[in-house]
Amino acid sequence: MFRGVCASSVTPFHADGRLRLELLGPHVDWLIAEGVDAISPLGSSGEFPAMECQDRERVLAAALEAVGGRVFTLAGTHDYSTARTVGLSKFAERAGADGLLIVPPYYMAPTPAQVMDHYRRVAEAVGIPVIVYHNIPLTSVDLTTDHLLRLFEEKAIAGVKMSHPDPDRQCQLLQAAGGGFRVYSGIDTAAFEGLCHGAHGWISGIPSTVPRTARRLYELIAVEGNLAEARAQWGKLAPLMRLQFQAYHSKGEGAHWFSTMKAALNMIGPPVGDPQPPILPLGSEHRGVLRGILEGLGYRIHQ
C-alpha cells in the first residue's frame, strides 16, 4: 500500500453522456506530473454512479493503461450489488490495479453485519488489497472502529479511506490499529487533523484538484514535522476546501464539490469536460472566486 497523496481521477464525458476516453491520458499525465503518489480511478470523482458496469470497465482499463505502473493505482469497484462489485473487482485486478477502493453498499442501508460480509466476499474473489471507502452521508452505513479492525484481522480489508468530518474517527483507528492497517484522510475538512494524527495519506478533493499543493502539506506534516509551515500551507488551501464543500455543509445551496473540482481542473490542467447531470457545471457566481483561489496557490489559469 502507498503513503502520501492520492488523486481521484475524473471521467471525461461528451455533452450527450458518451465517454471521452481520449482526454483521460493527458489528465492522468498531469496528475502524475503534479507529484501524486497514487491515482484512484472511479472514486466519487470518477462519477461511477453515472455509468453502467461496461463503461466503468472501459474507464478502469483506460486509466490503468494511462498510469502504466508509474504510481500506485487504487481502482474504484463499488456497486450496490455484491455480485457486480465482485465482478468489477476481478476485472480491475486482471487489468493491473494495485488495490481496490470500495464504498459500502448504498441506498438499501444494509446492516453492519451484511456490509462486512459484502467485503469478505470481495476479498475471497481477489488477491489485491481492499480499502473501505467510509462515507456515511452517501451510504447510510457506519462501520465502527471495531468493525473495521475485525475485517482487517480477517484479512478482508487493508485499510480505510475515512470520509468522516469528525477527525477523531481517524484518530481512533490510528490509535487502535496495529501495524499494517492503512488509514487515509478522505475528506478535506478533516485532512489537516488526520495527517497530524498520523494518517498514512490523503485521498480527497484537494489532492485531486491541486495535487502539488496538497503534496506539500503532506510533506510538511508527515515527512518534515514542520507544524508551523503546515499551518501556513493549510491557510492557503482552506479557502478551496470551504468553496468546494459549500453545498455539502449546508445540505442545500452553494457550490457543489464536484462542479468546483471539474471547473478547477479545466482552468489549470488538460480539459476534462463537465459533470454529468444532475450535477451541473459550476455557476458564474463561483467561478471568479475559484479563479482567485487557484491563482493564489500559484496555478496559471488558461481557461
Residues with catalytic roles = 133, 161
Q: Is the separation of the CB atoms in 276 and 50 below 8 Å? A: yes
Cα 6 to Cα 84, 107, 115, 128, 266: the distances in Å are 25, 27, 25, 18, 19
Which residues does residue 19 pair with via DSSP β-bridges, in sequence order?
Answer: 13
Amino acid (one-letter) located at 141: V
Establish whether the linkage from the previous residue to 278 is cis, with ω within 30° of 0. Answer: yes
Give the SS3 label for residue 182. Answer: strand
Give the SS3 label for residue 190. Answer: helix
Q: Is the separation of the CB atoms in 85 and 56 below 8 Å? A: no
Q: Is the separation of the CB atoms in 32 and 71 below 8 Å? A: yes
Give every CB contact of residue 228 below 8 A, 6+ residues apart in sequence: none
Amino acid (one-letter) located at 240: L
Q: Is the separation of the CB atoms in 114 and 145 below 8 Å? A: no
Establish whether the linkage from the previous residue to 271 is cis, with ω within 30° of 0. Answer: no
